[in-house]
């Protein structure tokens, strides 16, 4: 069976085809980074209009790459939320229309479930159960995953997500949009011990996060610097280490609480090499294993939606003829498979 996946929740249009026997057979992505860079962040109306422009050509492209016809598809999956409502509606309408024309099911997919399952696209997928750390621009979650769809939230950010802290700190340092990759590059040139930034909430007996205070510490360091050009790289490196230490501490606590030694790390921020190295070192120390998606599948993409859609489709969890999207959609509301 083959599922076409469409991702359009924010500023990337992703399309992919997943085969339950062959795995991922084709995927394509258009990013809007260059378009939004002029404004220093995502402009929702521009994002929606660009999705309208890109989605159909990308569908044709992946079909051509896979050497398949529309009639070879068994279902169409799409991101139904969370995300920007206009952007979500573009992908949902495209998927629902295609499914109606082909008389096949349309499968609504939770964006964060797609990220969570993305490491399963790799050659060495994790076995269930495991602890998952989802770190993106809008979410920082620690989750106990018993099986697909069975998610227990162990901890989450009480204010800024880790990705927000990266973006806002990058802006303070004068790094243009998108801030995360630029901050990582700058941090590689700095001394991570030059500034001592707080590791928020690591002394509290829970798995929750808080990054607003860390962002404020960066702001104070920028204002206190008498030579910001000299200190930029050190501030970036010290900030990144503080985030890595905080995430590592909370992951270790969650693993101990659950009695598990498998850690899945997903979401856009999981592409950061300092964070990956710290979490890999944690799992080596524990005699366990960390699982990551390849960098191209850490950020938004159609492959993760096609995979999640295949699992939902095979479980009989498909949508009706209506088009419903969820700009806000708690992961805990999903049905287990």
- Whole-number pLDDT of residue 196: 95
pLDDT at 332 over 90: no
- Whole-number pLDDT of residue 298: 96
> Measuring CA to CA, which residue among 227, 231, 234, 301 is closest to residue 266?
301
Q: Measured between alpha carbons, how far is 113 from 50 in angstroms, rounded to an integer?
A: 24
* This prediction's pTM: 0.96
Q: What is the pLDDT of residues 174-206, one digit of tens each?
A: 999 889 999 999 999 999 999 999 999 999 999
> Measuring CA to CA, which residue among 64, 63, 55, 58 is closest to residue 3?
63
Percentage of residues of the chain with pLDDT beyond 90:
94
Q: Measured between alpha carbons, how far is 68 from 49 in angstroms, rounded to an integer?
A: 28
- Whole-number pLDDT of residue 137: 82
- Whole-number pLDDT of residue 206: 95
Tabulate helix, strand, coil % of the chain (nearest 5).
50, 20, 30
Q: What is the pLDDT of residues 267-288, one digit of tens each?
A: 999 999 999 999 999 999 999 9
Please say whether the beta carbons of 248 and 201 come within 8 A.
no
pLDDT confidence of 207, banded at 50, 70, 90?
Answer: very high
pLDDT at 321 over 90: no
Percentage of residues of the chain with pLDDT beyond 70:
100
Please say whether the beta carbons of 266 and 293 come within 8 A.
yes
Q: Measured between alpha carbons, how far is 268 from 87 in angstroms, rounded to an integer?
A: 18
DSSP 1-19: -EEEEEE-SSSEEEEEEEE
- Whole-number pLDDT of residue 121: 97
- Whole-number pLDDT of residue 235: 98
Q: What is the pLDDT of residues 20-76, one digit of tens each?
A: 999 999 999 999 999 999 999 999 999 999 999 999 999 999 999 999 999 999 999
Interacting residues of 132 by C-beta distance below 8 A, sequence separation 6+:
116, 141, 142, 143, 144, 145, 263, 264, 265, 266
Interacting residues of 197 by C-beta distance below 8 A, sequence separation 6+:
214, 217, 218, 221, 238, 239, 241, 242
The average confidence (pLDDT) of the chain is 96
Q: What is the pLDDT of residues 105-150, one digit of tens each?
A: 999 999 999 999 999 999 999 999 999 999 988 889 999 999 999 9
Q: Measured between alpha carbons, how far is 129 from 64 in angstroms, rounded to an integer?
A: 37
């Amino acid at each position: 069976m083959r599922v076409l996946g469409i991702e359009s929740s924010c500023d990337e249009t992703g399309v992919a085809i997943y085969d339950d026997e062959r795995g991922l057979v084709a995927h394509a992505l258009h990013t809007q980074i260059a378009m939004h860079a002029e404004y220093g962040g995502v402009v929702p109306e521009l994002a929606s209009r660009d999705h309208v422009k890109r989605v159909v050509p990308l569908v044709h492209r992946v079909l051509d790459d896979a050497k398949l016809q529309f009639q070879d598809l068994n279902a169409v999956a799409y991101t139904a939320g969370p995300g920007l409502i206009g952007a979500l509606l573009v992908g949902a309408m495209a998927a629902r229309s295609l499914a109606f024309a082909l008389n096949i099911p349309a499968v609504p997919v939770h964006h964060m479930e797609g990220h969570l399952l993305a490491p399963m696209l790799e050659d060495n997928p994790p076995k269930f159960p495991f602890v998952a750390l989802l770190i993106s621009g809008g979410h920082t979650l620690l989750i106990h995953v018993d099986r697909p769809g069975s998610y227990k939230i162990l901890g989450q950010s009480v204010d800024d997500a880790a990705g927000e802290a990266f973006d806002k700190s990058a802006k303070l340092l004068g790094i243009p949009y998108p801030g995360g990759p630029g901050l990582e590059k700058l941090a590689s040139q700095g001394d991570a011990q030059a500034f001592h930034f707080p590791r928020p909430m690591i002394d509290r007996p829970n798995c929750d996060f808080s990054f607003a205070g860390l962002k404020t510490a960066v702001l104070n360091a920028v204002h206190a610097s008498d030579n910001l050009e000299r200190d930029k790289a050190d501030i970036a490196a010290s900030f990144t280490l503080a985030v890595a230490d905080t995430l590592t501490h909370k992951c270790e606590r969650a693993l101990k609480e659950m009695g598990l030694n498998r850690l899945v790390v997903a979401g856009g921020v999981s592409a950061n090499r300092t964070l990956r190295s710290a979490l890999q070192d944690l799992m080596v120390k524990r005699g366990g294993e960390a699982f990551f998606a390849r960098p191209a599948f850490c950020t938004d993409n159609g492959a993760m939606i096609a995979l999640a859609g295949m699992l939902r489709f095979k479980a009989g969890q498909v949508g009706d003829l209506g088009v419903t999207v969820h700009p806000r959609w708690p992961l805990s509301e999903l049905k287990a498979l």
